[in-house]
Chains A and B, each alone.
Chain A
């Protein structure tokens, strides 16, 4: 018997649970440690506690990372760097994102993720080459498995997706960690990246460091979403929100997110609630858009002190260990200071080296012109 009714519309709400709560983030940020470093249960049931080794490593990386960041800010104030966008206060996000990855994984950072790159093991001098003025990117992206730090916001997220897809198509088990801030979640490329990642099931972890301000614009003017973690749901991406100043929570969630992506189940979006304690860059005046009470309040959520308190409580570290880490951080900063004090020489002819694999005749003409100018200048000295 024929019928004049069409096929019923499909059920559209997924019933499987690809991540902790299906696609939904927890109703409040996942937390393992409170502000005083006491172990708490805040929507963390689905996440195994990170190993002691990983937590101790995280503590050391945060101390060195913060020291690096403070040193870089000082170098910018001294004029040694053209600019430096600091991440002091965001240490838990910066170091967890790297400790959750394997050596062969890739990362696609922004300009504010220098601390993460140092955690990854990149030479800090090479990380700071760009603001130092010698080249746009000082490190070798292939050798370090780290894409050049991206300034055009959210644009590199799509590269992370294409790269992760490419690796998957080549049969390699690579995961990519893609960084974005709260402001850049308003960019179109953020949304296109999420959509492509979901459609192609790309092994990408999107880490949104919500530090509350896009330069001066507060989150309330950026979005009406209850949480930036919700932005994954519409694309079919498993999402979570985490206390971004709780290193244990960050590691627990990112460990699981990386494993999820690596296992072929697709991308994960993680929103980390954190705070940039310093201004946007050394050229910015944060007092124009936020009051000191707010900064002090966030200062009390110090990710390093929280983890240190818990590690001491568990007997995993002691005074001697803390002192040795502090000494290591000071030595790291001293080495950086010394190496950054050397005046740079850059080959002027390198201007023409990497426009194309083979320079065009027009570039060769311009090269000859600059060469002649320099030789004339030299001769007139």
Chain B
């Protein structure tokens, strides 16, 4: 059972709450933000008449008009650069990069201008804009449609990087992103677009009511191991946590919600309590966000750790063709394997010994 298939998350306003898909939740967030602020505009490729290839902007052009939600020429650097100019003129653009890998032509605009404008101008020009990036795999997509590109953005100072794991968060984080005075890369896990959950009903609160940036959420409490995850990997972590009870492990799951700003406090508090940590990310592992998290945990909670912080990540390969993606994506089994390696018996983990290939794989202490 995953987080998004469970009943209404705790704390959601019960009577007025509405069940929607994640794509519907983002749609509602856009609509509520547009109703609240005439400067919020939505544009990109196919977001107008069609409503986006994932229908995230469904009906918005019809209901708010072509001036507020419109299609642009097919050019990502152009879309982002145009948003920079629109923001300078006083708008709050929310723009769509149709797929993760299609955002790469815009990388210079994002890294050299979006991220730096406030800094370059000594705070005189800020860019309140949101760049929506449907990202990640698990949907049987063909090449260039399944990349996990969050690390590129997280590595760029000046960008906030947000990725919801729940339908409720998709709504609230998007409202908060649009309200933010700084640019936000809003990474939408494609495989969660059709997951269902609850968002506030008709009387939506003001954006100021949402204060989740930089505040990770503990999705499940446990005492033995902390799983740190974000976006599409939170469901995997939740499933693994459930399965781990069979082995007698009590697993805590921390959902980052925002990679930038990063919530060291919640992550470290959890690891201090459990003494063990596994980071789960769908992206290729090398030099990824998970590596940063593992390093931070070890820097800050070394004396609480009973085992090295392990990472479960995608393979260091270009995203594979659909028939092989199940081998690439971190699944419950790999997470459980990582948990099993967390020094429960204090024997050496032989996996990385020089002659590990000769040793009886999986048997601790063979070397």
Contact = CB atoms under 8 A, between A and B. Distances in A.
Interface of A: 135-137, 140-142, 147-148, 152, 155-167, 169-170, 188-189, 192-193, 195-196, 199, 350, 353-357, 360-362
Given A148-B120, A148-B121, A152-B108, A165 B85 contact: yes
Contacts of B261: 360-362
Task: Give 4 closest A-B pairs by Cβ, nearest first.
Answer: A162-B85, A166-B89, A158-B81, A192-B78
A148 B214 CA distance: 30
Nearest to B78: A192
A361 B77 contact: no
A147 B88 contact: yes
A361 B122 CA distance: 20
B91 interface: yes
Given A141-B125, A199-B73, A354-B123, A192 B182 contact: no
Contact of B81 (A162, A164, A355, A361): A162
Interface string B245-270: 00000000000000011101100000
Contacts of A159: 81-82, 84-85, 88, 113
A354 B118 contact: yes
A379 B67 CA distance: 60
A362 B73 contact: no
B48 interface: no
B46 to A, nearest CB: 15
Nearest to A134: B122
A163 B78 contact: no
A156 B108 CA distance: 11
Interface residues of B, number: 45
A142 B90 contact: no
13 contacts: A141-B124, A152-B113, A155-B77, A157-B81, A162-B82, A163-B85, A166-B89, A192-B77, A357-B126, A357-B182, A360-B262, A361-B261, A361-B264
A350 B108 CA distance: 25
Contacts of B262: 360-362
A137 B120 contact: yes
B21 interface: no
B319 to A, nearest CB: 25
B109 interface: yes
Contacts of A161: 81-82, 85
Nearest to A169: B67
Contacts of A356: 118, 158, 160, 182
Given A148-B125, A356-B158, 12 more contacts: A137-B121, A164-B85, A166-B86, A166-B87, A170-B90, A189-B77, A192-B73, A192-B81, A354-B121, A356-B118, A361-B261, A362-B264
A162 B260 CA distance: 27
A188 B82 contact: no
Contact of B109 (A135, A155, A195): A155
Given A188-B105, A360-B261, A163 B125 contact: no
Given A155-B109, A158-B84, A192-B78, A355 B121 contact: no
B201 interface: no
Contacts of B85: 158-166
A357 B124 CA distance: 11
A165 B72 CA distance: 13
Contact of B118 (A135, A158, A355): A355
Contact of B260 (A141, A155, A360): A360
Interface string B85-111: 111111100000000000001001100
A238 B149 CA distance: 39
